[in-house]
Chain A
Amino acid sequence: MKNILEIENLTKFYNKSFKALENINLNIKEGEIFALLGPNGAGKSTLINSICGIVNFNTGTIKINNMDIIKKYRSTRKITGIVPQELNLETFETVWNNVNYTRGLFGKKPDHEYIEKLLKQLSLWDKKNNKIKELSGGMKRRVLIAKALSHQPKLLFLDEPTASVDVELRKDMWDVVKKLNKDGVTIILTTHYIEEAEELSDRVAVINEGKIILIDEKDRLIKKLGEKTIKIELIQPIDKINGNLSKYNFTLDQSNTILSHTYNLNSNITDITELLNDVKKDGYEIKDINMEQSSLEEIFIKLIKENNNELVRN
């Protein structure tokens, strides 16, 4: 699949001294959902704003559909939409005017039929004549999405699309994102919610201190860096781990009944069948077995910690 976005050696300074982005290289494939993860101030929004032309960058090149975003800004921006992090809206304007205004800005002739369909899709149709100030936070977020989609972009940036929305609305938003992607829109989202990236994305990048420290497919990332823990609950408590089980790195909980063993998914060292046979050979009776896999959130925290330690060492 061809790349819809190509970033090479992108660097951005604020006030000539603070390096917000450092040598960013990133390719986004057409049709994928790409999640950009990182702590506050990592450079996620700056990266998106640089791509969309909202801030100037210092060095490097950005291409959308193989066109340079500076030299061919009209062509590249026409196919790009952005939903900002903050609820930035003209509060005294109606939903209808707000959405049509954005369509006009992007050089598209009025299409009331499409805007009506879009507002209906986002459950905003009955609010079309309401002023923005009369809407709830969740509704405002939907208006921002409607505005970003008003000119039918091929590449959509969602900067923390579900920040400060309730769980139900978050799930609704996820459905909207999935539907858009199904309709052929390439989506790049930044998020604090790892479960959001886990739920939606095909690939994930982790950004910290303006640098991308990792890019990989979500499933492979979990597999590569993820850990699994097997917890074996015994019927009878034991005093200490010995016999065949001593060759595994088992830990015993306070009740002396639960044995825990953590292993890396990538290592392939632990043979579960053999492990369970060893438990049986030692004469332990098993009450329950539980498997826990590390989430993207745990991987993310681990990566950031490692990266910060490395920065301190350097």
Chain B
Amino acid sequence: MNWYGIKAIYIHEMERFKRTLFQSLASPIITTSLYFVVFGSAIGSRITEIDGINYGSYIVPGMIMLTILTQSISNASFAFYFPRFTNTIYEILAAPLSSFEIVLGFVGAAASKSLIIGCVIILTANFFVEVRIDHPFLMMFFLILTSVTFALFGFIIGMYAEGFEGLQIIPILVITPLVFLGGSFYSINMLPEFWQKISLLNPVLYLISGFRYSFYEVSDVSLFTSTLTILTILVGCIIFITYTFSKGYKIKD
């Protein structure tokens, strides 16, 4: 293993995060605060408890998931697309690094950034509502697994994107709607039966449900199904990246 190489990529990416620390943290904190003001206080005060949980507290796991998913994807996709754009990718390709090591460096950094942001959001949420974490290890397990999985997904976008616009298409057109429709702000039990069944086709529902269980021991689907879903996405991303690297597509002409 080229540990120095992995470390070089990881530190290089974290340096970029440090350089833009204010933008990196301010944006999710402000967004989260706005969600709490709008959904938690303004609208939330008119909604009764869900599964015995105060509405403001109920939406915390969903909001963390929303941020983790979007941040993991955007961090990893930008991190890998940027050297492609500036052509500095040449030195990564010319270095004695396996594709696994390259992915480990980039995805590790992107996931770390998301984890930091996720933790900051949990702290921010505490200023607005009472946040209870019944299973902290399970919560961390889901947080890390989701960050890594969606950083891998972002890495794929970074490999295939043809321009900066391309980095935004999937997060805006696919991920954000899936998160909003995946029970971030409600329980699917509140939906008519038909829409409940449709919602079960949304993979993000399983992530949010499992994550919410680690907070309040309430979930729309079983913990096992949630874990299996995220592991399936993780394996799918790994297979896709391995295949793309083996073909050299978009990277090595």
Interface residues of A (CB under 8 A from B): 14, 49, 52-56, 73-75, 77-78, 80, 82, 84, 86, 88-93, 97, 100-109, 147
A90 to B13, CA, bound (A): 12
Contact of B96 with A54 in the complex, beta carbons under 8 Å: no
Contact of A74 with B2 in the complex, beta carbons under 8 Å: yes
- Of the candidates B5, B90, B248, which one forms a contact with A106 in the assembled complex, judged by CB atoms under 8 Å apart? B5
Contact of B8 with A56 in the complex, beta carbons under 8 Å: no
Closest A-B pairs by Cβ, 6 of them: A104-B8, A105-B95, A88-B87, A77-B96, A74-B96, A107-B2
Q: Which residues of A contact B7 (CB under 8 A)?
A: 104
Q: Which residue of B lies closest to A81 (CB)?
A: B94
When each residue 83-95 of chain B gets 1 if its CB lies under 8 Å from chain A and 0 otherwise, what string results? 1001110111111
Q: Would A77 and B94 be within 8 Å (CB), given that A88-B86, A107-B4 are in contact?
A: yes
Q: Would A105 and B5 be within 8 Å (CB), given that A54-B252, A55-B252, A56-B253 are in contact?
A: yes
A249 to B86, CA, bound (A): 57
Q: Which residues of A contact B19 (CB under 8 A)?
A: 92
17 other A-B residue contacts (CB within 8 Å) besides A53-B93, A77-B94, A97-B12: A52-B90, A55-B248, A55-B253, A56-B248, A73-B96, A74-B96, A82-B94, A84-B90, A86-B87, A91-B86, A92-B16, A97-B15, A101-B11, A104-B7, A104-B8, A107-B3, A107-B96
Contact of B5 with A104 in the complex, beta carbons under 8 Å: yes
CB distance from B25 to the nearest CB of A (A): 19
Contact of A102 with B252 in the complex, beta carbons under 8 Å: no
Q: Which residue of B lies closest to A20 (CB)?
A: B253
Interface size band for B: 20 to 34
Q: Which residues of A contact B83 (CB under 8 A)?
A: 90
Say whether B178 faces chain A, with CB atoms less than 8 Å apart: no
11 A–B pairs (Cβ distance < 8 Å), ordered by A: A55-B248, A56-B252, A78-B96, A82-B90, A88-B86, A89-B86, A100-B8, A101-B8, A101-B11, A101-B12, A102-B8
Contact of A90 with B94 in the complex, beta carbons under 8 Å: no
Interface residues of B (CB under 8 A from A): 2-5, 7-9, 11-12, 15-16, 19, 83, 86-88, 90-97, 248, 252-253
Q: Which residue of B lies closest to A14 (CB)?
A: B253
Q: Which residue of A lies closest to B82 (CB)?
A: A90
- Of the candidates A54, A91, A103, A104, which one forms a contact with B90 in the assembled complex, judged by CB atoms under 8 Å apart? A54
Q: Which residues of A contact B86 (CB under 8 A)?
A: 88-91
A97 to B12, CA, bound (A): 8
Q: Which residues of B contact A80 (CB under 8 A)?
A: 94
CB distance from B247 to the nearest CB of A (A): 9
A73 to B90, CA, bound (A): 15
